[in-house]
Structure 1
Amino acid sequence: MKISVRNLEPTKVRLTITVDGDEFKPYLDEARKEIGKQVNVPGFRKGHVPGPIIDQRIGFATVAGEAVNQGVPELYSKALAEKELHAMAQPQIDVKELPESAKDDTKLKFTAEVEVRPKFELPDLEGMQIEVAKPEVTDEDVSKRLDALRQRFGTLVSVDRPAKQGDFASIDLEAVIDGDSVDSQQGVSYELGSNTMLDGLDEALDGLSAGEETTFEGTLEAGDHQGEKAQVKVKVNSVKAEELPELDDEFAKEASEFETLDELKADVRKQSEQDAEGRQATDARDAFIAKLEDGLEIPVPKGVKESMVADQLKNAGKDGKSASKEEKAEAEKKVEKELRDQMVLDALAEKMQVSVTQVDVTNFLASIAQQYGMDPSAFINAIVQNGQLSSAVQEVGRSKGMLAGMRAVTFKDSDGKELDLSRFLGEEESVAEEDEEESVQAASAAAAVADHINQTDAEDDEAEAK
């Protein structure tokens, strides 16, 4: 197989791949075999029709077309691996030349244009030191946690005064556009200052008492008129203030397993310190990635970026026309960072020679399913059916590569004290101790999970048939 590479952009190439007849022949033979299983040819059993008969009865063009469909993706992947290219998107394949008969010595020739990860050199991890701010827990942090706990045991009490920030108001709402009522809600409980409904609602309610009403202009967030400006009438039915319990020993007994307030405060401080350590670990991760990227010029693939920006805007209820320049710029900035981080972590995983097992992938997907309250098997099945399994494998590889990289460097706090992040980074894996069959690479892991799902589906179908 002859492969030539032409750089079209810093992150886009065109591969021209020419396949020798001997290398293409197995794909032609396999195509004839598969076609032979599906057709009836007098004098031959299904699956036992000689190749020349298939070419004669079905047509060599059909055989070649099937061989191309099956062979080109595999040949393309081999070409990427040989040229050490890492595709970032699906390729645009164009078959240029193809043999017209079994005796035609014309070679299969096709091109593939694809966006790829740019080449860059990661810094050496040996001896690398990274400073991370020292976590601090103040009395104010403890007080905030105690106040949050008190709010869980608070009660709402009606008050005869104007509403203010933090109060809960029962309100009626009506949205009017060009004199027509387009939406209305009654008896809505709303916390002033939460900013969880219409823009301008907090300001409109501030200072209103029960029985009073006002009108303000707002942008509708949902419904048939989403995104349109409307005159919103709001009426206050009642105002309630939150009454919190006293912070004393009795409260400690009611709200926790402790007998005294001092014991509760000590436990809250301990939890705050643990959370602070978690935030420090997150800061260490961000500082580590920033250190890897420091001084590197990493262009991002334009097509991938455009697609991701469009998805970002869509998730925010916007599109290319309705989004403002600021919103587009913010989305582009976020996507560029995400892409650079992904590419750096992919390169790091290769540098650290991490492997991804079937168990890794399954556990990763199961944990996501649990977060969303979904059945793990159904979720994994959906991932496979939607063709997203390779993305999940990549995420696992990035995570394992990052943890391996972070274990290889030294983190210190602002006082110069070395940090122990082992609780967050886990223990270093010993590849030599792993079962060779289980320590498969990412592609094998993906295939194993997919095969497992497909086998389960087949068994279910067979059970239903019975």
Structure 2
Amino acid sequence: MKISVRNLEPTKAKLTVTVEPEELNPYLDEARKEIAKQVNIPGFRKGHVPAKLVEQRFGFGAIAGEAIEKAVPELYSKALEEKKIRPMGQPEYDVQDVPQSANDETKLKFSATVERRPEFELPEIDGMEIAISKPEVKDEDVDKRLETLRQRFGTLVGVDRPAAKGDFANIDLTAEINGEVVDSQEGVSYELGSATMLDGMDEALEGLSAGEETTFEGTLEAGDHEGEKATIKVKVNSVKAEELPELDDDFASEASEFDTLDELKADIRKACAQDAEGRQATEARDAFIAKLQEGLEIPVPKGVKAAMVEEQLKGMTPDPEKATKEQKDQAGETVEKDLRDQMVLDALAEKLDVKVSQADVFNFLASIAQQYGMDPNAFIQAIMKNGQLGSAVQEVGRSKGLLAGMRAVKFTADGEVVDLSNFLGDAAEDEEAESVEAASAAAAVADELSGKEEAPAENAE
């Protein structure tokens, strides 16, 4: 197989592959067998039709077509591996030359244009030192958590005064467009200042007492008239204020397992410290990735970026085509950062020769399935069916590479070495698992899970 590569852009390459007849022949033989399995020819059992007869009946073109359909993607993958090209999108194939008969010496020739990861050289991480912030717990952090806990034990008490920010109003409201009622609700509880309903609602309610009503203009945010201006009539049925318990030992014993307020505060401070350490670990991760990219010019694939920006906009606005310039710019910046981070972590995983194990793939996919409340087997099967297995395994590799890289780096805060082992885990645990090819690992996990899931069902019957 002869392979030539032309770099069209730093992030796009065109591979031209010329296939020798002896490399294509196995695909032709397999195609003849596949066609023979699918046809009925008098005098022959299905699947036992001679290859020569299959070719006579259906023509070499049909056989070559089926062979090429399988051969091109497989040979393309081999070409990528041989030339060490890391694709970031799906290729565009162009089949140029095809043999027209079994005796035709024309070689199969095709090209594949694909967006790729650009070339860049990561710095050496041995001896790398990165300074990060020291975790800090302030009194206001403890007070804020204590106040949140206190609010959980608060009660609503009716008050005979105008509603103010923080009060809860029981309201009826009606929305009209051109004098026609398009929506109405009764007995809705709303916290003034929460801004969780229509724009203008907080301003309209503030100062109203029970039994009073008002009208304001607002934009509907749901329903058949979403996005349309409407006249909103709102009536206050009652006003209630939140009454909070006193911060004392009685509250501590009621709200927690502790007998005194001081013990409760100490426990809250401990939780705040753990959160601060978690934020420090996140800062260390971001600083490490930034350090890897320091001084590097890493262009991003235009097509991949465009597709990701489109997906990003779908989460930002109901109609991506009507997205504002600010939204588009924000999506573009987010996607570019994500892409560069992904490419750097992929390169790091290769540099560190990271291997993906069955346990890695299982834990990753099982954790995602758990988040979505799905059966792990069903989730893995869906991932495989949708062709997303490679992406999942790649994500595992990035995560393992990141952890391995951070373990090799010294992090300091105020000149003191920071121990992040609670967040980075133990390298020995990674080495204990049997390393296998990524796709095979995930497929094996799926098969194993399928057997475990199906057996009990059969026994139950």
Length-normalised TM-score, structure 1: 0.93
Within-5 A mapping of 1:29-178:
29-178=29-178
Corresponding residue for 2:443? 447
Deviation, structure 1 residue 373 = 2.7
Q: 1:199 to 1:445 in 2, by over 3 A?
A: farther
Deviation readout 1:189-229 (Å, 9 max, x if unpaired): 12222222223322322222222223333332222222333
Of 24-33 and 358-367, more deviation after overlay is shown by 358-367
Deviation, structure 1 residue 123 = 1.1
For 1:418, the aligned partner's letter is: V
Within-5 A mapping of 1:183-332:
183-332=183-332
Residue 420 of structure 2 corresponds to residue 424 of structure 1: no
Deviation, structure 1 residue 319 = 3.5
State the Cα RMSD in Å: 2.1
Of 42-51 and 63-72, more deviation after overlay is shown by 42-51
For 2:180, the aligned partner's letter is: D
Corresponding residue for 1:386? 386
Counterpart Cα distance in 1 of 2:32 and 2:85:
32
Deviation readout 1:331-366 (Å, 9 max, x if unpaired): 111111111111111111111111112221221122
User: What percentage of residue pairs aligned between the two structures are identical?
Assistant: 70
Q: Is the 8 A contact 2:89 2:116 kept in 1?
A: yes
For 1:63, the aligned partner's letter is: I
Deviation, structure 1 residue 446 = 3.1
Secondary structure of the residue that 1:185 maps to in structure 2? strand
Secondary structure of the residue that 1:321 maps to in structure 2? helix
Deviation, structure 1 residue 173 = 2.5
Q: 1:217 to 1:131 in 2, by over 3 A?
A: farther
Deviation, structure 1 residue 433 = 4.5
Structure 2 unpaired stretches of 5+:
none
Counterpart Cα distance in 2 of 1:258 and 1:269:
14
Secondary structure of the residue that 1:429 maps to in structure 2? helix
Q: Is the 8 A contact 1:390 1:446 kept in 2?
A: no
Q: Is the 8 A contact 2:357 2:433 kept in 1?
A: no
Deviation readout 1:58-114 (Å, 9 max, x if unpaired): 221111111111111111111111111111111111211111111111111111111
Counterpart Cα distance in 2 of 1:430 and 1:136:
31
Structure 1 unpaired stretches of 5+:
none
Q: Is the 8 A contact 1:169 1:240 kept in 2?
A: yes
Deviation readout 1:18-69 (Å, 9 max, x if unpaired): 1111101111111111111111233333333322221111221111111111
Counterpart Cα distance in 1 of 2:74 and 2:293:
33
Q: Is the 8 A contact 1:161 1:209 kept in 2?
A: yes
For 2:422, the aligned partner's letter is: R
Q: 1:25 to 1:104 in 2, by over 3 A?
A: same
Counterpart Cα distance in 2 of 1:212 and 1:259:
46
Q: Is the 8 A contact 1:60 1:101 kept in 2?
A: yes
Q: 1:296 to 1:212 in 2, by over 3 A?
A: farther
For 1:427, the aligned partner's letter is: D
Within-5 A mapping of 1:430-441:
433-435=432-434, 439-441=435-437
Q: Is the 8 A contact 1:7 1:14 kept in 2?
A: yes
Q: 1:201 to 1:252 in 2, by over 3 A?
A: same
Q: 1:384 to 1:195 in 2, by over 3 A?
A: farther
Q: Is the 8 A contact 1:88 1:115 kept in 2?
A: yes
Residue 405 of structure 2 corresponds to residue 409 of structure 1: no
Counterpart Cα distance in 1 of 2:383 and 2:211:
53
Secondary structure of the residue that 2:29 maps to in structure 1? helix
Secondary structure of the residue that 2:140 maps to in structure 1? helix
Of 423-432 and 30-39, more deviation after overlay is shown by 423-432
Q: Is the 8 A contact 1:381 1:453 kept in 2?
A: no
Q: 1:170 to 1:7 in 2, by over 3 A?
A: same
Q: Is the 8 A contact 1:89 1:304 kept in 2?
A: yes
Q: Is the 8 A contact 1:91 1:115 kept in 2?
A: yes
Q: 1:178 to 1:112 in 2, by over 3 A?
A: farther
Q: 1:107 to 1:449 in 2, by over 3 A?
A: farther
Secondary structure of the residue that 2:322 maps to in structure 1? coil
Counterpart Cα distance in 1 of 2:437 and 2:349:
12
Deviation readout 1:271-313 (Å, 9 max, x if unpaired): 1111110111111111111111122111111111111111111
Corresponding residue for 1:341? 341
Of 280-289 and 235-244, more deviation after overlay is shown by 235-244
Secondary structure of the residue that 1:37 maps to in structure 2? helix
Counterpart Cα distance in 2 of 1:37 and 1:402:
48
Of 351-360 and 133-142, more deviation after overlay is shown by 351-360
For 1:391, the aligned partner's letter is: S
Counterpart Cα distance in 2 of 1:210 and 1:192:
14
Counterpart Cα distance in 1 of 2:154 and 2:106:
82
Q: 1:36 to 1:383 in 2, by over 3 A?
A: same
Q: Is the 8 A contact 2:377 2:446 kept in 1?
A: no
Deviating beyond 6 angstroms after TM superposition, the runs of 4 or more aligned structure 1 residues are 453-457
For 2:420, the aligned partner's letter is: L
Q: 1:430 to 1:372 in 2, by over 3 A?
A: closer
Of 279-288 and 180-189, more deviation after overlay is shown by 180-189
Of 130-139 and 8-17, more deviation after overlay is shown by 8-17
Q: 1:442 to 1:433 in 2, by over 3 A?
A: same
Deviation readout 1:354-393 (Å, 9 max, x if unpaired): 1112221221122122223333333333222222222211
Q: 1:241 to 1:463 in 2, by over 3 A?
A: same
Q: 1:450 to 1:78 in 2, by over 3 A?
A: farther
Of 210-219 and 353-362, more deviation after overlay is shown by 210-219
Q: How many residues align?
A: 459
Q: 1:184 to 1:403 in 2, by over 3 A?
A: same
